[in-house]
Amino acid sequence: MKPNPIVGQGTPLHRWQASSKMAGLAQINVEQLVPEGCRAVIIAPHPDDEVLGCGGLLQGLVALGRPIQLISVTDGSASHPGSRRWPVERLSVVRAQESAQALHRLGVPLHRLQWLRAGFDDSQVAAREDELAAFIQRCLKPTDVVFTTWREDGHCDHEAVGRASAQASMAVGATLYELPVWTWHWATPEDGKVPWHRARKLALTCEAVARKRHAIHAFASQLEGDPQIGLAPVLAPYVVERLLQPFEVVFV
């Protein structure tokens, strides 16, 4: 088993902000990513990854009137192991509610959103990866554009969901784009493990970033740890700030 790269406070935001590599990334827009006549399929390992990875993209999809399918692979109930404040039973209900509120804050009309909850176990997705790929494949059409977490993102579920999505997309003939989420924590702009040659930058307006910030703050469970057992928040302030740059990155 490879070591967990999501430790400590990660790469400081100012290193990303000062990076000439980030500044020089080729730009792409929502219409190029999801052309007219295509559906966007967002595959999130946990309820919140759809906002953390592509909250700006979601706003752009709504503005263009593109159909959206959201697949939440797990219920995110393993985020606070051993916590009495945030036990599994509470999280399995709360995290989906937080996602719904976050999508509302982004301006995504829930009545127009197709939302599937796949029911896989949080932190155990890799054990059923082939089953997940088959599940995703049944949901896809050749004209779909799939967005999911990068296959090397650093979290076991993110990577398993990325691999399963890639397998399903290839089988159907759908287009696949990958999103870095935890990459911003462990990587640096000079990191050769990151496929920067595939990276495209989706510029976000100040309003879009503000909406994304408001949406992230719907995830109360993730913004809180459990001091009684020494558990830090999953979305500590320095994590949130790294995810609120004036752009989102897509690996094409």
Residue 95 belongs to domain with CATH number: 3.40.50.10320
| pLDDT value, residue 17 | 97
Rounded CA-CA distance 30/203 in Å is 10
- Domain assignment of residue 157, yes or no: yes
Rounded CA-CA distance 58/56 in Å is 5
- Domain assignment of residue 46, yes or no: yes
Question: The pTM is what?
Answer: 0.97
| pLDDT value, residue 171 | 98
| pLDDT value, residue 1 | 65
| pLDDT value, residue 3 | 81
- Domain assignment of residue 4, yes or no: no
Rounded CA-CA distance 200/248 in Å is 8
Q: Are 243 and 219 in contact (CB under 8 A)?
A: no
Q: Are 178 and 145 in contact (CB under 8 A)?
A: no
Domain that holds residue 64: 13-251
- Domain assignment of residue 61, yes or no: yes
Alpha helices for 65-128 (secondary structure H): 88-106
Q: Are 70 and 113 in contact (CB under 8 A)?
A: yes
- Domain assignment of residue 2, yes or no: no
For 129-212, list the strands marked E by DSSP.
145-149, 175-179, 199-203
Structure tokens given for 36 = 């007219």
Rounded CA-CA distance 174/140 in Å is 7
The 3-state DSSP class for residue 226 equals strand
Handedness of CA 182, 186, 189, 194 (dihedral sign): negative
The total domain count for the chain is: 1
The 3-state DSSP class for residue 77 equals coil
| pLDDT value, residue 158 | 98
- Domain assignment of residue 229, yes or no: yes
Regions in the chain scoring below 70 on pLDDT: 1
pLDDT in tens, 166-201: 999 999 999 999 999 999 999 999 999 999 999 999
Q: How far is CA 155 from CA 81, 87, 116, 158, 183, in A?
A: 16, 21, 22, 5, 9
Q: Are strands 40-44 and 68-74 parallel, antiparallel or unpaired?
A: parallel
